Structure 1
Amino acid sequence: MPRVLIADDEESMRTLVARAIAMDGHTIVTAEDGAEALEILTSDAGAFDLLLTDIQMPVMDGIALALTAARDFPDLTILLMTGFADQRERASGLNALVHDVVTKPFSVADIRTAVADALASRKRD
């Protein structure tokens, strides 16, 4: 059963995404920002299959989180989310580290498909 860490500063988005992904049987852990997500990753020695993080967050944004997570946990698959075009452009330079960027708003089906695709890519690597 894949473990997914979700980092998003918007509680309603965190809850929606967690519920959507849990429908597929994944174990979900959530964080309110990148710093909390990094603490969770570190305390669990990176024992997650997927990091799903918003880009724009206080304390530590998703780009800084993705860079640190990719450096410290190179086997971790990373999926970014954003509702801002300029943030998507910032993420375009991370193609080697990040599986994909999901654009908000998205449907439950969209995020479930994106997560399934990201997790399936782990098996192909």
Structure 2
Amino acid sequence: MVRIRAGRSSLGCLFTLLIVSAAIYFGLNVGEAYWNFYQYEDAMKQELKFNGVRPDSVILAHLWTQADSLGLPEDAKDLSIDRDPRTRIIRVSADYTEQIELPLTVRVISFHPHAEDTY
């Protein structure tokens, strides 16, 4: 009696390898966009924590530099800074979109990084 062992076909292994490779390739594109968002939002929080008492122009310049270094779209530099003198809270936020290339489509993802702290 001859038994056919599963996994002996090279075509099945190649197909599995192709699917796994495609998932990793496209997953990295999506992951990079979310990682850049996280880094940008973290830069906002750090900027407010350590430089919240500085003028808005200094905060904007630092965050524009961070957006450039992360390779974010130009609309990520359209920042809004609000100070509430009564509660001494400063808020910074931005809105931008990234286009992610997926198989047979391009997905547009909106990001809304924000941070707030006292000054």
* TM-score (norm: length of structure 1): 0.27
**Radius of gyration: which is bigger?**
2
TM value normalised by structure 2: 0.28
Structure with the higher strand share, 1 or 2: 2
